[in-house]
């Protein structure tokens, strides 16, 4: 198997790529179902974690518990007691304004989290339980059941379920605008890159929530759930 660089179909012959796969305890033939169960227990489901949803009333009450609001209420009562009605009205307006701003900021944060969850893939094509000899068959599973070490298949139109290292690519391009703001799809490669690169420069990676616009490929899952880039944003 030969590593012929950019635009090539395969990369597992590359020592660094091979070490990455071995470190994850997998191979291009994927994981067994038993191993998947163990890793699900170890790493948890591949999904954006969410605490119990807060109602609008609870959000409003949370703002009213702010110590600053308590100080303003005390100031308003003192102003009212000494007959400074204009000051009382001004302080009340400040309280209403401060509480409203805080409420809408937290409400928008809750809505943003729900929007991030909606970007997650629902299903994924993976390679699992391959026979020692013969052709591997792909299977479609729920995205929340994908684990580190899984081999995922990428095809045009797919929403990527995890952060994954690409080791096979054929004219593969991915829309990463949700993470980088770039308006054009990114041409993906299989060659190893340097460490600590920004997301936009990790051209041998496929990130959770992004969309394949062209081509096909294979990748090994390196991060799921809250450890993915979209998970970090949600956190």
Q: Examine the domain organization and report whether 97 and 179 are in the same domain.
A: no
Query: Does 42 or 137 have the greater pLDDT score?
Result: 42
Residues 130 and 97 occupy one common structural domain: no
For residue 185, the enclosing domain spans 15-48+121-234
Q: Is the dihedral of CA 47, 52, 58, 61 positive or negative?
A: negative
Shortest CA distance to 134 belongs to which of 9, 29, 10? 29
Residue 191 maps to a domain: yes
10-14, 60-64, 161-165, 224-228: which range is least confident on average? 10-14
Residues 129 and 114 in one domain: no
6 found inside a domain: no
Among 171, 174, 140, 181, smallest CA distance to 157 is for: 174
Q: Give 25-84 pLDDT, tens digit per residue.
A: 888 888 888 899 999 999 999 988 766 667 777 777 777 787 888 888 888 888 888 888
Tell me which of 65, 87, 118 is where a domain ends.
118
Token readout for 226 is 């809250």
Q: Please report whether residue 181 resides in a domain.
A: yes
Claim to verify: residue 78 and residue 92 sit in the same structural domain: yes
Q: What is the pLDDT of residues 212-233, one digit of tens each?
A: 999 999 999 999 998 998 888 8
The pTM (predicted TM-score) of the whole model is 0.69
Give the up-direction half-sphere exposure of residue 19: CA atoms within 13 A in the CB hemisphere: 4
**How many domains, in total, are found in the chain?**
2
The reply to whether 96 and 200 lie within a common domain is no
- Domain with residue 151: its CATH number is 2.70.150.10
- CA-nearest of 158, 216, 154, 213 to 186 is 213
One domain, residues 92 and 23 = no
Both 191 and 79 in a single domain?
no
- Check whether residue 69 and residue 159 sit in a common domain: no
């Amino acid at each position: 198997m030969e590593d012929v660089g950019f635009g090539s179909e395969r990369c597992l012959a590359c020592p660094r790529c091979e070490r990455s796969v071995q470190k994850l305890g997998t191979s291009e033939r994927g994981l067994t179902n038993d191993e998947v169960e163990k890793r699900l227990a170890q790493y948890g489901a591949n999904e954006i974690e969410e605490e119990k949803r807060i109602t609008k009333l609870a959000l409003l009450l949370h703002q009213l518990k702010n110590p600053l609001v308590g100080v303003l209420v005390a100031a308003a009562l003192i102003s009212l007691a000494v007959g400074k009605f204009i000051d009382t009205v001004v302080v009340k307006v400040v309280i209403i304004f401060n509480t409203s701003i805080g409420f809408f900021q937290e409400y928008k944060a809750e809505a943003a989290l729900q929007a991030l969850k909606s970007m997650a893939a629902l299903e994924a094509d993976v390679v699992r339980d391959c026979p020692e000899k013969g052709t591997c068959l792909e299977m479609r599973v729920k995205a929340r059941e994908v684990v580190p070490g899984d081999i995922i298949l990428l095809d045009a139109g797919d929403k990527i379920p995890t952060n994954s290292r690409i080791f096979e690519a054929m004219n593969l391009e991915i829309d990463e605008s949700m993470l980088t703001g770039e308006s054009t799809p990114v041409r993906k490669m299989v060659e190893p890159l340097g460490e600590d690169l920004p997301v936009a420069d990790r051209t041998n990676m496929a990130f959770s929530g992004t969309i394949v616009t062209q081509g096909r490929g294979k990748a090994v899952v390196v991060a799921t759930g809250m450890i993915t880039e979209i998970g970090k944003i949600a956190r």
